[in-house]
Amino acid sequence: MNSSVFATWLEQISQLPGLFMTGTDTGVGKTWIGTRLLQHLRQLGVQITPRKPVESGWSTEQITETDTWKLALAASGFQALNQVCPNRLLAPLSPPRAAQLEGKQLSIQQLAEQCHKNYKPPSFLYVEGAGGFYSPLANDGLNADLAATLKLPIVLVSEDRVGCINHILLSVEAIQARHLDLVGIILNPLQPAPLGMDNQQDLQALLDLPIIRWT
């Protein structure tokens, strides 16, 4: 990661009202990247309101392993978990499916209202989705629908691997089709890169967007 490029980008991010963090898929490291991004923003003096409106696969026995706990801790350590994540679902399935198993219904409007509850500008509103941009999030919509309702700038996270360019370009097209502001793409190297692979360079030739490879 080019430290000077990242510092410039981070300064620009810190001036925004908030972010919607999404991914190309489940398991690409949104929370891992998000917690570190929030830590960097705090070092710049940014006050943060974290929101993970839905988390499925919730474990009451291992709360410190949940995405919600990690985001709350990264934001300040003094965030009430029921405010950070008002919908904590047991089954490790898509949120609407997990909610159905508990006899619950989720709506995009409900989730949007929960994101704004007890939020007071100019605090930085950080909202993390569940799964990929087009993954189901509620009974009546996708992560994309919540992002469109909140109208927050978007950061897209992808695993940095062979084949990710296709997933990234499809996600970028979907985000732009909804006229949302995509402010950066973060490549997360979960595995050692094959010799010669440089997705950052290849993507930069295709997209006029900040492309950051997290290291």
Tens digit of pLDDT for each residue in 4-49?
A: 889 999 999 999 999 999 999 999 999 999 999 999 999 999 999 9
Q: Reduced to 3 states, what is the DSSP secondary structure of residue 205?
A: helix
Query: pTM for the whole thing?
Result: 0.95
DSSP character string of 16-75:
SSEEEEEESSTTS-HHHHHHHHHHHHHHTT--EEEE--EESS--GGGGGGSHHHHHHHHH
Largest CA distance in the chain: 50
Give the Cα separation of 78 and 188 in Å (integer).
28
- Mean per-residue pLDDT for 114-132? 96
Residue 134, burial from CB neighbour count under 10 angstroms (0-12, 13-18, 19+): middle
| Cα 66 to Cα 56, 82, 182, distances in angstroms | 10, 13, 27
> Is 104 a residue of the active site?
no
Q: What is the pLDDT of residues 44-93, one digit of tens each?
A: 999 999 999 999 999 888 899 999 999 999 998 778 899 999 999 999 99
CATH number for the domain that contains residue 43: 3.40.50.300
Expressed as residue numbers, the domain containing 46 is: 3-213
Q: State yes or no: pLDDT of 158 exceeds 90.
A: yes
- How many domains would you assign to the chain? 1
Give the Cα separation of 69 and 9 in Å (integer).
26
Residue 118, burial from CB neighbour count under 10 angstroms (0-12, 13-18, 19+): exposed
Joined together, the tokens standing for residue 1 give 């990661």
Give the Cα separation of 101 and 114 in Å (integer).
21
Catalytic residue selected from 30, 52, 117, 120: 52
Contacts for 61 with CB less than 8 Å, ≥ 6 apart: none
Q: Reduced to 3 states, what is the DSSP secondary structure of residue 14?
A: helix
What per-residue confidence (pLDDT) applies to 78? Answer: 77
What per-residue confidence (pLDDT) applies to 96? Answer: 97
Q: Is the Cβ–Cβ distance between 211 and 203 less than 8 Å?
A: yes
The DSSP bridge partners found for residue 51 are 127
